[in-house]
Structure 1
Amino acid sequence: MTPALPALPGFDHLRVPGAEGVELSVATGGSGTPVVLLHGFPQTHLMWRHVAPLLAAGHTVICPDLRGYGASDKPAAADPDVYAKRTMAADIVSAAAALGHDRFALVGHDRGALVAFRAGLDHPETVTHLGILDVVPTLDMWNVLQGVSAAVGYHLFLMAQPPGLPETMIANSADAFFGSFLDAWAGDRAAIPDPVRSAYLRASAAAVPSIVADYRASAGVDADHDQADLDAGSQLAMPVTVVQQDWGARLGYDAAQVWQAWAPDLDHRLTRAGHFMAEEAPEEIAGAIRELLAR
């Protein structure tokens, strides 16, 4: 059974239909034009607990747990498409429609940002504005992880392996594995207090097979989808804001240039916050989102 997670204060918590019979757990609140916020790894919608209330003053804010994470359904990965970002993006479009929104702004962090990127490409008539926190697209991610610098992304290579060994290794040391990212990637560890950290660890430990399947898809079907769009010259049609750490300087590539190839209407920003920027610098992130929605 999926463990109970802390509630987002002041928000309604619902079960709504995603794609292919999957149900998502969603927190929603506020009023106004809709904006959907997608969490990253190893987190749940709770990562938006500071940003969501700031945005809810002027917008309807929708914070789902992605399929395979948190309190959302975790279907077995019968084939790679089950956790393809294309499928996960269809979840978000379906969930928003079930809540009465056929057009919405979409902001994602980490894994959620990859889902948001795919939604922007696959559903340009639905996604009005796109916000991306601290990633590059899947295909570009694999291209820039080279040499010893790729060690920072060791988990990507581990979870790309065939089913069996990664799941067993991670499940046998789940708290240590998932906790290591909460520690190593945080610019300010106090931004994820113990109750929230515990909630993330409980949720992740209960979702090892689906989390691995999500990452495994990025080494296969997701990269294939990105390559097909690149070959076709597809680009993001909506205004795009990217906020990230200066990974380009660390890993030797031009992150803004990478994003410009996909997003002609781009606002690319660097932050001094750590990877968990929505929790470490919520005013900054909420402000960037508001500016995006005003474009």
Structure 2
Amino acid sequence: MTPTIRGFEHHRVPVDGDVSLHVAVGGSGSPIVLLHGFPQTHLMWRHVAADLAAGHTVICPDLRGYGASDKPAEAGPGTYSKRTMAADVVALARALGHERFALAGHDRGALVALRAALDHPAAVGHLACLDVLPTLDMWDVMHGVDAAVGFHLYLMAQPPGLPERMIAASADAFFGHFLDRWAADPAAIPADVRSAYLRACAAAVPSIVADYRASAGIDVEHDRADRTAGNRLRMPVTVVQQDWGAALGFDAASIWRAWAPDLRHTLTGHGHFMAEEAPAMIAEELRALLTR
């Protein structure tokens, strides 16, 4: 049986032409949208979402190209740009009756959340990003042998064809590698959830690669245009991440502060999958954000 978020209802919501998102919704109160990372689905929020639902309407979609959401063929760089995926999220919230909402994302979902906050500041009242750097800055800090941890970024940046074939040939091993290497506490991702992640990823190789390919191209262009124009995040922002800077030699808080004047930046000893490894801590960070 596929695991679910306790007490949440599931819907399919049209967001863009023929594209619909699968979404789990629960709770009542002011809305917060939670966006998953790689190689996961909305299930990564199962503990945090159930906690927050006591006081909020919690909306957990599968991103375009992931999980049970639609996976349009890559027709060009814009199909899986973070701008397009962010517009999906805003359309989803509006379809559910929310013109303004809090937004939290992890990993890939954090990049979508950041773009949504930059492009739709009237819709996003609070922003949280977990264990990520903005796309433009991410590429700037990746260098030398220490950047080998991000080999997948370079693999999936290649033109269509080769990365899709390589990954599809051994999908479970490829996606399972990240679940194994990035978890400080492997028990935080139980066997049934792990299996659900691997099944979902194996069925979505072309769209996942397209998402990453966009981050080596059009997403960088969009970030650079914002930096050149001096666009910054207008809402309170919380960032929680591992101390990558110790290995790669950068100051993550300074990088984020250049985008977010109203910033709370926290380093944690938990692994990359912190919403599953330390859900009470993440839920508390989000509740604190919503009071700012």
Which category of TM-score, normalised to the shorter sequence, fits these structures? over 0.9
Give runs of aligned pairs for residues 63-82 of structure 1, distance below 5 A: 63-82=60-79
Give runs of aligned pairs for residues 272-283 of structure 1, distance below 5 A: 272-283=269-280
Give runs of aligned pairs for residues 1-295 of structure 1, distance below 5 A: 5-295=2-292
Percent identity over the alignment is 74
Deviates more, 1:143-152 or 1:5-14: 5-14
Consecutive unaligned residues in structure 2, runs of 5 or more: none
C-alpha displacement at 1:40, in angstroms? Answer: 0.2
- Superposition CA RMSD, Å: 0.8
C-alpha displacement at 1:21, in angstroms? Answer: 2.9
- Within 2, Cα distance between the matches of 1:272 and 1:285? 13
Residue 11 of structure 1 aligns with an amino acid whose one-letter code is F
Q: 4+ residue stretches of structure 1 with deviation over 6 A?
A: none
- Within 2, Cα distance between the matches of 1:156 and 1:288? 28
- Within 2, Cα distance between the matches of 1:104 and 1:77? 29
- Within 1, Cα distance between the matches of 2:18 and 2:118? 23
Deviates more, 1:12-21 or 1:119-128: 12-21
- Within 1, Cα distance between the matches of 2:81 and 2:22? 19
CA contact 1:50–1:282 (8 Å) conserved in 2: yes
Secondary structure class of the residue paired with 2:258: helix
Consecutive unaligned residues in structure 1, runs of 5 or more: none
- Within 1, Cα distance between the matches of 2:64 and 2:217? 18
CA contact 1:38–1:64 (8 Å) conserved in 2: yes
In the alignment of these two chains, the number of paired residues is 292
C-alpha displacement at 1:38, in angstroms? Answer: 0.2
Residue 191 of structure 1 aligns with an amino acid whose one-letter code is A
C-alpha displacement at 1:48, in angstroms? Answer: 0.5
- Within 1, Cα distance between the matches of 2:247 and 2:17? 40
CA contact 1:39–1:47 (8 Å) conserved in 2: yes
Residue 9 of structure 2 aligns with an amino acid whose one-letter code is D
CA contact 2:2–2:192 (8 Å) conserved in 1: no
- Within 1, Cα distance between the matches of 2:131 and 2:264? 13
CA contact 1:69–1:204 (8 Å) conserved in 2: yes
Deviations 1:45-86 (A, max 9, x none): 000010001000000000000000000000000111000000
CA contact 2:10–2:25 (8 Å) conserved in 1: yes
C-alpha displacement at 1:19, in angstroms? Answer: 2.4
- Within 2, Cα distance between the matches of 1:42 and 1:6? 16
Secondary structure class of the residue paired with 1:18: strand
Secondary structure class of the residue paired with 2:79: helix
C-alpha displacement at 1:18, in angstroms? Answer: 1.6
Deviations 1:103-140 (A, max 9, x none): 00000000000000000000000000000000000000
Residue 151 of structure 1 aligns with an amino acid whose one-letter code is A
TM-score (norm 2): 0.99
C-alpha displacement at 1:5, in angstroms? Answer: 4.5
Secondary structure class of the residue paired with 1:262: coil
TM-score (norm 1): 0.98
Secondary structure class of the residue paired with 2:159: coil
